[in-house]
């Protein structure tokens, strides 16, 4: 079992920045993909960004150039640096760890961007 704990959400004005953190603990495997997803009210959960254990990254088109995902394997941490935030980025952000054959999820952290 893997436990994921997110932190760093909050309220920010449009154009501002936030940094989300995700701490993983438990049965950690070196083969994994860490990701950030988000879910806005009334919408489905969607992928924001992901990063492999070797550092290969992928981003949703709507965050390219604004968000950066990173990780620290020694600390079992993943980060999401969010810049140029827009009101439409408002959502609960979830950390995900894909550790085949399992998927693990954090409890989520709220990000609210005011206009």
pLDDT in tens, 57-69: 999 999 999 999 9
- Quote the CA–CA distance of 55 and 10 in Å, as a whole number: 27
Q: What is the mean pLDDT of residues 81-108?
A: 96
Could you tell me whether strands 109-114 and 57-59 are parallel, antiparallel, or unpaired per DSSP bridges? Answer: unpaired
Position 28 scores a pLDDT of 86
* Peptide linkage before 101 cis (omega within 30 of 0): yes
Q: What is the mean pLDDT of residues 26-51?
A: 94
Q: Which residue has the higher pLDDT, 100 or 4?
A: 4
46 band by pLDDT with thresholds 50, 70 and 90: very high
Structure tokens at 21: 């953190």
Query: Please, what is the average pLDDT of the chain?
Result: 96
Cβ atoms within 10 A of the Cβ of 46, count? 12
The pLDDT of residue 4 is above 90: yes
């Amino acid at each position: 079992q893997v436990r994921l704990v997110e932190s760093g959400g909050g309220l920010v004005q449009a154009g501002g920045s936030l940094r989300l953190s995700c701490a993983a603990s438990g049965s950690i495997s070196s083969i994994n993909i860490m990701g950030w997803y988000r879910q806005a009210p009334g919408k489905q959960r969607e992928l924001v960004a992901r990063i492999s254990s070797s550092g290969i990254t992928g981003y949703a088109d709507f965050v390219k150039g604004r968000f950066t995902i990173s990780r620290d394997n020694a600390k079992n941490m993943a980060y999401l640096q969010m810049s140029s935030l827009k009101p439409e980025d408002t959502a609960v952000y979830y950390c995900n760890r894909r550790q085949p054959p399992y998927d693990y999820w954090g409890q989520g952290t709220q990000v609210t961007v005011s206009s």
